[in-house]
Chains A and B, each alone.
Chain A
Amino acid sequence: MKFAVVVFPGSNCDHDAYHAVKHVLGADAEFVWHKEADLKGADVVILPGGFSYGDYLRTGAIARFSPIMAPVVAFAEAGGPVLGVCNGFQVLTEVGLLPGGLLRNRSVKFLCEQVHVRVEAIDTPFTCAATAGQVLRMPIAHGEGNYFAPPDVLDALEANRQVVFRYCDAGGEIIDAANPNGSARGIAGLCNARRNVVALMPHPERACESAVGSADGLVVLESAVAALGSDGMLRTG
C-alpha cells in the first residue's frame, strides 16, 4: 500500500510525513506535487503541515485552489482515507471536506509544544489501531489552531461522534487548562460524516520516534495500514 504526501509550495512538514511513513512505519510513500492532477495510485493521502501559500490571508485559503485538490476531493468522496495534519486540517476545512474553521489561537501566539490528546473515536482509518480513550502525547506547532464551528454544527459533530481527538491533560481529563488554543469543546481533530477524512492540529508524524520526544503518533499511521488490510480495502469499526 502507498501513501501520497501532497506537497504545496509552502508545505514544510512534507518531509517529516514522508520520513515517518517510509522510514519509521516502513510503508511506501510518494510525494505528489500540488500542480499534478492525479494521486499516482495512492491508497492513503496525507495533507501535511506547513504554510501552503505563505498563508498570509488565511491558512489553507489558497491551497484549496491547487490542481491537486480536485483529485483529493474525488478520492475522499469515493471513501479513500485522507489525513490532514495542521495546515492539512486547515486546507480540508477551506475546501469543505470538513466543517468549521480554524481561528487564531486564543493567546494570539504561535505555540509549539507537546500536548496530550484523547482518542475519542476509533472507528476511523487513522485511529482504528488505537484504543478508545487512549491518551497520545504529540506536539503542536501552529498559530491558528483554534477550532470554531457554530453551536448547531458542534452539536451535530458530537451526535455523529465526529470528534476524533480532544485536548486533555496527561491523565486523559478534558480540562480547559489542557486546551492550548481555545478550540471549541477541546476539539483537536475530527472526521467527516463518512469517517474516512480525518484531520488534527497536533503532529502525529513528529511523534513517531522516542528520540525526538514521543512515539505516540505512530498509531495514527499504523491505523491506516490496519484499516486497509492486505487487500487494500478500507475497513474500520
Chain B
Amino acid sequence: MAIDSETLERHGLIPAEYDKILDILGREPSITELGIFSVMWSEHCSYKSSRIHLKTLPTTGARVVQGPGENAGAVDVGDGLVAVFKIESHNHPSFIEPYQGAATGVGGIIRDIFTMGARPIALLNSLRFGPLEDARTRGILEGVVAGIGGYGNSIGIPTVGGEVAFEEGYAGNPLVNVFCLGLAKAGSLVMGQASGAGNPVYYVGAKTGRDGIHGATMASAEFDERSSEKRPAVQVGDPFMEKLLLEACLELMQTDALVGIQDMGAAGLTCSTSEMGSRGGAGIDIDVSRVPQRESGMTPYEIMLSESQERMLMVVKQGREAEVERIFEKWDLHAVPIGEVTTDGQLRVRQDGAIVAEIPNGPLADQAPLYDRPTEPPAYLATSSRLDLEALPELPATDAALRTLLGSPAVASKRWIYRQYDHMVRTNTISPAGMGAGVVRLKGTNRALAMSVDGNGRHSYLDPHLGAMLAVAEASRNVACAGALPIAATNCLNFGNPERPETMWQFARAVAGIGEACRALDVPITGGNVSLYNETDGQAIYPTPVLGVVGVIEDASRVLGRVFPGAESTVLLLGGGEGALGGSEYLKLICGQVAGSLASLSLEAERALQLLLVELAGEGLIRSAHDCSDGGLAVALAECCFDTGGVGAELMMPDAPGDALGDGRIDVSDASMLFGEAPSRVLVSVADDDFGLVRMRAEAAGVPIAGQGRTGGDRIRVSLAGRPVLDIAVAEAETAWRQGLERYFEDRAA
C-alpha cells in the first residue's frame, strides 16, 4: 500500500518526518512500519517539542540513583533502600470517561514503579477541574475520584495525599496527574533493557485487543467535537490483573532470571520492544501471532499499536524459562515467549514467521524528530500584570472574607475526596491524608518518607517562570513542614498546543523556572511526564506544571503535621510577613480578578527556611508546621486550628504596615497581610520552654520571625501592629471549611 498524504495526516506525521522515515529505512515503509513510527514519534512518546527544554533540568545529585530515561527515577533514602517514583498524566482519557480514564492512569504509573523492581507503597494525585457549579464538572470529579480510589484501593496501595484546584480553564480539559512511589533495595533496580542475543522475549498479562489503538497520538492532539470518533481509545482498567502482575513480577525479580522488563503503556508493544532494544543496544525479533489476543483477525498493525492495559514485556535469561513460567502460573498468569533478542539492532516483527516490519531500533527510539519550536510571550501578559489595588471595590469584613475563602472548594477540606481513597493500607501511613504532606514510615528502619504534589495554574498563567519556581518551592516546603529533608523531585508539565508560540513560551519559561528552583533547593529532577495539547476547541488550560517532591525523615517519631497540638503553645510565623494580592485566591474569589504580580521568591531564603524546619523538627523543637499557601496567612492560621477540637489561636504581627479605615472596614494593605500569598512563610507551634532556643536557631539561620502568638481560647485572632484585624470563632470557620467541598455533593448521598 502506498503512503499518501491522507494516511500520513491520519498518523499525525508531517512530510519532513516522513522523509526522515524514508531515510532511515532506505525504502517506503509498510503500513505497520508507518504505524510504529507514528506512535514512537508522537509527542507523547518522543517528547519532540519538549526535549530540548527538558535537557536543561538538573538531574544529578549525591542521592540520585536513576535519573530520567528509565521507567521511573530513583533516589537513595538510606538504610540500603532506594525510593523509586514518578508522576504521570491521564488528562484526555479522564475527560471522556472519568472513572476508567483516571483508573487506568493509576494503573499505568503503578506499572512504571514495579517495573523498576520496587514495591509501590504510596500514591498521590493532583487534580484540576472547572468550577463545581457545573453539573458536568461534578460528574467528572466524582468519576475521577472514584476511579483513582477504585484502582488504588483494590490493588492495596495507599493514596496518601494530593491536591485539587478549580478554575474555569479546566472545564473542558480537566487534569489528572498521578504520582506513585515505591521502595526497592539498593542495587536491585531492574532496567527496561534487552540484551543477550538468544534470550527469550516474554509477554505476560492481559490479552491484546483493539482497544486503545492510537492512544498516544490522541494524547498528542487537541480536542474538538470530532474527538468523539477517537473515543474507543479509553479502556476499562483491571486492578486485579495488575495486582497479579505486580506480585508475580516482584517475585520474579527476587530471582536473577530476569534481564529486563518494561510495561506496555502508551504505544504498547511498539514502545516496549523498541525502547528495550535501543536501551540495550540490541535487536528484538518477535512474532505477533504468538501474542495472546482477545479478538480474532487482528492485524500486525493493530497488535503492535494496541494499548490494552495491564501487560508487561520481559527479557529473561535463556535456560530459565521454566522457572519464569512457574512463577507466573502461581499467580494464574501465563507468560508466553513471543520472540528473542538479536544482535543486529533491528526491531523485527513477524506474523506467522513472515517479516511484516523491520526497523533499526536505535533510530526509531532515539532519532525521533526534535523541534525547537518558536516562542513568543502571550499578549495577555501586557494587561494581566496590571492590577490597580486602589481601584478595587470596597473589601468585605475580614471574618466574612475568611469564611468565603475557607468555604471555597479550592481551600476547603478535601476530606470528601480522600476518604474515598484507602490511605492507610500497608499500615505505614503516619500522617493521615489532610494533615499536610503524605508521610509513610519505612518498616524495619527509623525513617519515614514525606511527599507532596503541588502546582498553581493561576500563578503560572500570570508568570510561568515564577509560577513554576513557586510550585517547586511549595512542594518541597510542604515536605519540609512534615520534618523531612527534600531530596528529589519529579514533574508533570501540563500545557496547551506547543505549535502555538505563546504556549511554547510558557513551557520554556516554566521549565527554566523549575530548573532554577530545583538547583537552588537541591531537589534534582529524576523523571516526569509532559502532557501537551491540553486544549478543547482552541481554548488552552492554564499552563500547569505540577511538582512532586520526596523528602526523608530520619526519625519517624518526629513527623510533624498541620494541626496545633492544643492550647498553651507558642505560635511563630517563620519567614516573611507580607503577601501579595496579585494572583491570589482572595483576589479571584472576593474581587473576581485574575491579575497582578505574584510575590517574589528568594530561593536562598526558601532554602534556609526549609533547612531550619528540618533541623527543628529533627530535634523535636517544634510541634506542628503548616505553610501559608492558597488564601494566605489567615487561612493557614485557621487550618492549624482545625481538627484540634476547637482550639483557637492569636497571632500578632508587630511590624505590619497600614492603617485601619475604621468602622470595621479594612484597607488593601490589611488584606495583603491577611490574605495575600507569598512563599517562604510557615506557621509553627513551639512549647513555651523551647521558644528561646527556636528563636536563636532561626536567627542563626537568617530566618525572620514575622509574627508571634499563642494557642488557646476558641477564636482565631490576628492583630497588625497592635490593631485587631481578624476575630472569628474556630467553630464557625471550621464549619465553612468542612462543608466547602462536600456541599456540592450533598444531594447525592443517601
| Pick from B146, B330, B424, B556: contact of A141, CB under 8 Å | B424
Q: B243, A16: Cβ atoms under 8 Å? A: no
A50 vs B298: C-alpha distance when bound (angstroms): 36
Measured between beta carbons, the chain A residues less than 8 angstroms from B427 are 16, 19-20, 205-206, 208-209, 212
Near A by CB (< 8 A), chain B positions 239-260 give 239-241, 243-244, 247
Kindly identify which residue among B156, B419, B430, B556 contacts A111, using a CB–CB cutoff of 8 Å. B419
Inter-chain CA distance A19–B146, complex, in Å, is 29
With a CB–CB cut-off of 8 A, which chain A residues contact B750? 106-108, 182
**Smallest Cβ-Cβ distance to A16: which chain B residue:** B427
A106, A111, A112, A139: which has the most chain B beta carbons within 10 Å?
Answer: A112
Q: Are B154 and A54 in contact (CB under 8 A)?
A: yes
CA distance A141 to B247 in the complex (A): 22
Q: When the two chains form the complex, which single residue of A19, A50, A139, A205 contacts B443, counting CB atoms closer than 8 Å?
A: A19
Shortest distance between the CB of A209 and any CB in chain B (Å):
7
Which B409-442 residues have a C-beta within 8 angstroms of A? 418-430, 432, 441
Cβ of B430 and Cβ of A211 under 8 Å apart? yes
Asked if A9 lies at the interface with its beta carbon under 8 angstroms from chain B, I say yes
Distance in Å: Cβ of B440 to nearest Cβ of chain A: 10
Residues on the B chain within 8 Å of A67, using CB: none
* Contact residue among A15, A108, A109, A182 (Cβ-Cβ distance under 8 Å from B426): A15
Task: Please tell me if the beta carbons of B239 and A111 are within 8 angstroms of each other in the complex.
Answer: no
Q: Is the CB of A110 within 8 A of B420?
A: yes
Q: 1/0 contact trace for B645-657 toward A, CB 8 Å?
A: 0000000000000
Taking residues whose C-beta sits less than 8 angstroms from the other chain, chain B's interface range is 35 or more
Residues of A within 8 A of B428 (CB): 212
| A-contact 0/1 string along B346-372, CB 8 Å cutoff | 000000000000000000000000000
A110 and B149 in contact (CB under 8 A), knowing A16-B426, A139-B424, A211-B441? yes
A15 to chain B, nearest CB (A): 7
- Give A19 to B424 CA distance when docked, in angstroms: 14
Q: Determine whether the beta carbon of A53 is less than 8 Å from that of B156.
A: no
Chain A residue contacts of B556, Cβ below 8 A: 211
Contact in complex: B244, A9 (CB < 8 Å):
yes
- A10 — which chain B residues lie within 8 A by C-beta? 154, 240, 243-244
Q: Which single member of A54, A108, A109 contacts B239 (CB below 8 Å)?
A: A54
B-side contacts of A16, CB under 8 Å? 425-427
Least Cβ–Cβ distance between B350 and chain A, in angstroms: 34
Q: Which of A50, A111, A206 contacts B420 (CB 8 A)?
A: A111
A113 adjacent to chain B (CB < 8 Å)? yes
Name the residue of chain B whose CB is nearest to the CB of A143.
B153
Assess whether A112 is in contact with B424, with CB atoms less than 8 Å apart.
yes
Q: Cβ of B244: which chain A residues have Cβ within 8 Å of it?
A: 9-10
For B150, the chain A residues whose CB sits under 8 A away are 110
Pair A141/B153 contact, Cβ less than 8 Å: yes
A13 to B332, CA, bound (A): 20
Contacts of B424 in A (CB 8 A): 112, 139, 141, 203, 206, 212-213
> Which residue of B155, B425, B441 contacts A13 across the interface (Cβ within 8 Å)?
B425
> In whole angstroms, what is the CA distance A207 to B36 when docked?
51
Within 8 A of A (CB), among B209-253: 238-241, 243-244, 247
The answer to the question of B557 belonging to the interface, with a C-beta cut-off of 8 Å to chain A, is yes
Nearest A residue (CB) for B150:
A110
Binding site secondary structure of chain A = loop
Number of interface residues of A (CB under 8 A): 37
Q: Is B421 touching A112 in the complex (CB atoms < 8 A)?
A: yes
B422 and A141: CB pair below 8 A?
yes
Within 8 A of B (CB), among A125-140: 139
The answer for the CA separation of A55 and B424 in the assembled complex, in Å, is 20
A236 close to chain B: CB less than 8 A: no
B18 in contact (CB, < 8 A): no
User: Interface 1/0s, chain B 720-750, versus A by CB < 8 A?
Assistant: 0000000000000000000000000000011
Complex formed: what's the CA distance from A12 to B240 in Å? Answer: 11
Among A15, A35, A208, find the residue whose CB has the most chain B CB atoms closer than 10 A.
A15
A182 to chain B: closest residue by CB: B750
A6 → B minimal CB distance (Å):
15
Q: A53 and B422: CB pair below 8 A?
A: no
| Given known contacts A12-B155, A54-B154, A112-B420, A212 and B243 CB-to-CB distance under 8 angstroms | no
Q: Are B240 and A112 in contact (CB under 8 A)?
A: no
Is B156 within 8 A of A110, CB to CB?
Answer: no
Report the bound CA distance from A53 to B332 in whole Å. Answer: 11
The verdict on A3 contacting chain B, using a C-beta distance below 8 Å, is: no
CB of B691 within 8 A of chain A? no
Output the nearest chain A residue to B444 by Cβ-Cβ distance.
A23
Most buried by A among B146, B154, B418, B750: B154
Chain A residues near B443 (CB-CB < 8 A): 19, 23
Q: When chains A and B are docked, how far (Å) is the Cα of A201 from the Cα of B153?
A: 15
CA gap between A23 and B427 in the complex, in Å: 12
**Which residues 32-52 in A have Cβ within 8 Å of B in the complex?**
35, 49-51
- State how many angstroms separate the Cβ of B424 from the closest Cβ of chain A: 5
Contact (Cβ within 8 A) B154 A51:
yes
**A54→B240 contact, CB < 8 A:** yes
Residues of A within 8 A of B418 (CB): 112
B298-336 interface with A by 8 A CB criterion: 330-332
When C-beta atoms are compared, the residue in chain B nearest to A108 turns out to be B750
If A108-B750, A112-B419, A112-B423 touch, does A51 touch B239 (CB 8 Å cutoff)?
yes
Residue contact A54 to B238, C-beta cutoff 8 Å: yes
Question: In the complex, which of the residues B155, B240, B441 contacts A53, with contact meaning CB atoms closer than 8 Å?
Answer: B240
Q: Which residues of B contact A206 (CB under 8 A)?
A: 424-425, 427
Collect the chain B residues with CB atoms within 8 Å of residue A211's CB. 430, 441, 556-557
List of B residues within 8 angstroms of A108 by Cβ = 750
The answer to whether residues A12 and B557 also contact, given A19-B443, A212-B430 and a CB cut-off of 8 A, is: no
Rounded to whole angstroms, the CA-CA distance of A19 and B442 in the bound complex is 13
CA separation between A182 and B749, bound complex, in Å? 12
Chain B, range 519-576, C-beta contacts under 8 Å to A: 556-557
Contact check: which of B330, B332, B749 meets A107 at CB < 8 Å? B749
Those of A2-22 within 8 Å (CB) of chain B: 9-10, 12-13, 15-16, 19-20
Nearest B-chain residue to A105, judged by Cβ: B750
Q: In the complex, A55→B428 CA distance in Å? A: 25
Interface of chain A residues 96 through 117 with chain B (CB within 8 A): 106-113
Chain B residues within 8 Å of A50, by CB:
156
Residues 66-106 of A, flagged 1 when their CB comes within 8 A of B and 0 if not, give 00000000000000000000000000000000000000001
C-alpha gap A212/B557 in the complex (Å): 11
Give every chain A residue within 8 A of B240 (Cβ-Cβ). 9-10, 51, 53-56
**C-alpha spacing A112/B750, complex, angstroms:** 18
Instruction: Please give, as numbers and ranges, the residues of chain A lying within 8 Å of B420 by CB-CB distance.
Output: 109-112
* B155 contacts across to A, CB distance below 8 A: 12, 51
Which residue of chain B is the closest to A62 with respect to CB atoms? B240
Question: In this complex, what residue of B is CB-closest to A53?
Answer: B240
User: Nearest B residue to A35 by beta-carbon distance?
Assistant: B330
Nearest CB of A to B334, in Å: 14
Question: Whole-angstrom distance between the alpha carbons of A27 and B563 in the complex?
Answer: 36
- Chain A nearest CB from B122 CB (Å) reads 14
Quick one: given A12-B156, A19-B443, are A113 and B419 in contact (CB under 8 Å)? yes
User: In chain B, what residue has the closest Cβ to A107?
Assistant: B749
> Chain A residues near B331 (CB, 8 Å)?
9
The reply to whether B422 and A112 form a contact with Cβ atoms under 8 Å apart is yes
Given contacts A109-B146, A110-B146, 20 further A-B contacts (CB under 8 A): A9-B332, A10-B154, A10-B243, A10-B244, A13-B425, A23-B443, A54-B154, A54-B243, A55-B240, A108-B750, A110-B149, A111-B419, A112-B423, A112-B424, A139-B424, A143-B153, A206-B424, A211-B556, A212-B427, A213-B429
4 A-B pairs closest in CB distance: A12-B156, A54-B240, A141-B422, A51-B154
17 A-B pairs in the complex with CB atoms less than 8 angstroms apart: A16-B425, A16-B426, A20-B427, A51-B155, A54-B154, A109-B146, A109-B419, A109-B420, A110-B146, A111-B420, A112-B420, A112-B421, A141-B153, A143-B153, A182-B750, A206-B425, A211-B441
Interface residues of B (CB under 8 A from A): 146, 149-150, 153-156, 238-241, 243-244, 247, 330-332, 418-430, 432, 441, 443, 556-557, 749-750
